[in-house]
Chain A
Amino acid sequence: MQPATPGGDQPQEQSAAAGQIQPKRGMSLVLPPWPDARSLSVHETPPPVEQDTLKQPGVRQSDQMPIYAQGQPAAYSPGLVPGQFSPPVSSPAQGMFQGPVGPQAFVPPQNPIAPVGPRPATGALPGGPGFPGMNQVPANVGSAFVGLNTNMVSEPPNIFNPHRPPVVSGAAGGGSGDRGGRGRGDGPPRPSARKKHKKKRRVPIWSRVVIGVLLLLIVALGSGYWYYEANYAHALSSIVGQQVQLAPGEQNPNAGRTGDILSGPRINILLLGSDTDEKFDGTYIAQTDIVLTIDPASSTVGMLSIPRDFYLNVPGAGMHKLDEAYGLGGVDLSRRTIEDDFGIPINYYAWIGLDGFIKVINEVGGVDVDVLHPIVDDDYPDDVGSNANDPYAVKRLYLAPGPQHLDGPTALEYVRSRHADLVGDFGRSVRQQQVLSALKTKLSNPDIFNKLSAIANDMTGYLKTDMQLPDILKLMNFARSLDVNKINKLVLGPPYSSSGTAPAGGGDAGASVVFPDCAKIIPAISQMLDLGSSAVCNIQGDTGSNNGVASTASQTTTPLSDAVSSSQSNNTSLSTTVSNASATLGSGSSDLYGVSDLLDLLLMGVFESPDALQL
């Protein structure tokens, strides 16, 4: 039975002079002559190696035939019924490796079948680039193979031979050949070709395998690079490597450091957090200031939380609350304030805006949260959507209590409301922890992979650091090994400070502020950050009354849980939330890439900061 020939798909009989390939119907491309077309021998049952011995000048693929033949000789034995195997041309990716290719071509072993009939239609294959592009495979290639005819099957040499000019000597419709239209008898056989080819094999099999693997790697890496560039490069470039200018005369804390971020001495990272709701002067403030200190040698981590209302000297700006340093001079001034006032060198910084997390919440379809109590607020900033440019717009809030699904905007309302409970920022901090913990749960879902690109873009503008991507990857890996119970946490609340009112004459006169107790702070930070005599408490503007005071007092760091319990004992909601939020830190093997642990670390620093617990 002769399968029907797909119209226009089968190569047409070529009665022209040898070496001229008839373009396929509809194709305008004129193929170059096939130099060795008539040299093909016809074998009823040729051993695979014979295919390998065929020589075609300029066509190196002949050497590859033994790979296929040895690998699957039975699959190509003559007499196969059409349909017993499928020509691997169902996808362009497969098809692009088939047929004659140029001198630099490589035919990968995963394409053992090289149907030759339809291939000339591509036109670009003989003598073309090593990897004819996908687009070079005509749309009707697939259909051409659907109609795989018995002629092809009964010609094992041709099926195996990717170098054979497909329609050089005949076609399905009959032709000049002596085999009922196969057109194989145009040229005389060349018995000596096999021996010649054996002697002139240029590239050994192993090397071609290596080349193939390398090419595959190149393709894979190229695809990966393209995907990265298309989906992540822009977002990441706006997040990482955001350097800040050093002030004139300011020493580079990273001068002399070599190698990766964890290969040198202790590093201090300033974590700044802004919930971006105090932007009435057009600038953010940093409600949270945390110094994350890491000693790579001992693999220990400490977190120094400095109250946002610390009343201290902001270099060049006089006495202000610490949170205003960010608004007055951005990261640079925040960093210099910490460095100058406490003698803590800051190697890197990371700034996180809460709005970014809210965008992410929208991206993942919302979060499910147990709203702790009815949320009422008549003075909530209505600064999203159409009112984004109106810092004075307000709206009213009422959120019912209890477990429920919150979309991004509602989640934002839940965590930003400042008037919803008596405990002010303390209550808000608890709510933030709830939502961020729920977000982490969402992000741990494998389905999130498809949204990573969008999430990265959501974080643009809301997450910045001067660390580079390799540094962050190092920290991710480091975070996996952290034991949360061994993280030292020092909160410079009472007894390291006391509340009061800012005096007249300075910034924030009359405002509620927190006064540092230098005598207690200096020994504590000296030990925690290995500052030695570098620890200072230069908080009094130009007076510098405490400058240079140092101490070797014993460690007085306070665990977060203790700090919380001292000020908010027996608060079920708080303890529950803190517990939930930090439960996964150091989860180790369950967090393969350490992403979650790093997120935990950042969140602990920025949003679970006990300094936000001040009433």
Chain B
Amino acid sequence: MSTPIRVEGLTKRFGSFEAVRDVSFMAASGSITALLGPSGSGKSTVLRMIAGLERPTAGRIWLGEEELTAKSVQERAVGFVFQHYALFRHMSVAENVAFGLRVRKEERASRDARVAELLDLVQMTKFARRYPDQLSGGQRQRVALARALAPRPQVLLLDEPFGALDAKVRQDLRRWLDELHRELGVTSLLVTHDQEEALELANQVVVMHEGRVEQAGSPAEVYEQPATAFVAGFVGSANVLHGWVVDGHVHLGTFRVPGADHLEEGAAAAAFVRPHDVRISREETGVRGTIERIATLGWLARLSITLPGGETLVAHVPHEELDGAAEGDEIWADLRSPKAFGIEPAPVEPPGAVASDGAIPSGAPPM
């Protein structure tokens, strides 16, 4: 029952505002594809266009071999899960799940059997007669998922499904959704601003920014080989160091990092270095800096290192590699696997700023 989804040149304008610009990607049959981006990046609009809730200004949508672009919402047979559940508040849990079958005039007996099967699947059988306002957020979202799955949709569209839940419930539901997906194998599109959620759940991540696709690839590709400066800064946390290109390197005042061969000589550039790619040493390697602060993140230590130019560098180092280093010590920092990107002459962020920090990968990015 799973089918691939393909969108091509999808564009949506609201008046003069272009919410989605020329978006194309393909979600493989039976996979989970995450549309990841900050709020306002157009990811929800893409999802709503696939569902038929918004009409695209331009572009086409396919479900397998069948083109959906001109079809009505009802004809598309997609399952949609809303951020705020959108349960029918005047119907019981069982009635909510049965709704999609009822409007299709499915027979009573098979409808009841399907409802029972789904309630069991989402572990809500004993709440069948409850009403939505008598359930917790996590329970409501499970009912919403059962309701969306009841008419056996070919694809499942999830719009920030865990966005309204607190961190603990969000983690549980994420794991549970992962298992459920393995069991059902329905092609799923997940819209989220939470990179951790996208990296953990998805087979493919489509990173969106200002209505455009920045990069589409496996979670590892997006994380290890970011295609643009935006992806490097948004997915995972990174130190952003601003400089200019000299001889295939990014010059950063008193030191330089490699990896800028693809950039034009003399151009302004930013080097992105993951906190776990910073190694510290007492030997002379890389750049000299002062440890400003050491905080512990469980098995890792987070070091804030001040560089000669005054920038702060964040490093995540296993405790055993600290080698007795303490706050105030002068050490050498080796910046490995830097990713260099050409930038506009005016820096996007102040030099030396850290895009985001905390554990890897960090939680929700700043709004």
The reply to whether chain A is a binding partner of chain B is no
Contact surface of B with A, Cβ cutoff 8 Å: none
Contact surface of A with B, Cβ cutoff 8 Å: none
